[in-house]
Amino acid sequence: MAMQRAGDAMKTIHGKLTPTKVDETMDKLQEYNRLNEEIAEAMGSVNVGPPLDDTELEDELEALQQQELEDKMLETGAVPVDSIQRLPAVANGDIKGKAPVAAEDDEEAELRRLQAEMAM
């Protein structure tokens, strides 16, 4: 009984489907796939303008970046000329806090004394 029901279910599922109809359907699907591939290939092969060279694009980008940098440098504003010529106030006065050179004199005296002892 179960086998009969399974057979009836298979007949219902397949209906009037035959191997010939399946082959015809598969042929139609393969033809549509070929047509889709031809269309995709035709669309992909369309060149709009000349081919682009990466090095040419990189050179153009570098030139644009350099121009932008130069424009920014020119926008920094002017520096007053009188402030360039003027020295800071600290450099114009006496230098404070510097120790006397007495330490060097003591070392030189010590060196002369040692030289004199060795000469004896």
pLDDT at 92: 59
Domains in the chain, number? 1
What is the spatial distance between Cα 93 and Cα 107, in angstroms, rounded to a whole number? 30
Higher pLDDT, 87 or 17: 17
Residue 32, domain member (yes or no):
yes
Mean per-residue pLDDT for 95-103? 62
Mean per-residue pLDDT for 23-46? 91
Task: Please identify which residue in the block is written with the tokens 């005296």.
Answer: 109
Residue 70, domain member (yes or no):
no
DSSP 8-state secondary structure symbol assigned to residue 49: S
Domain that holds residue 37: 16-41
pLDDT range class, residue 8, cuts 50, 70, 90: confident
Residue 69, domain member (yes or no):
no
CA distances from 105 to 47, 91, 96, 110, 119 (A): 87, 27, 21, 9, 21
Residue 31, domain member (yes or no):
yes
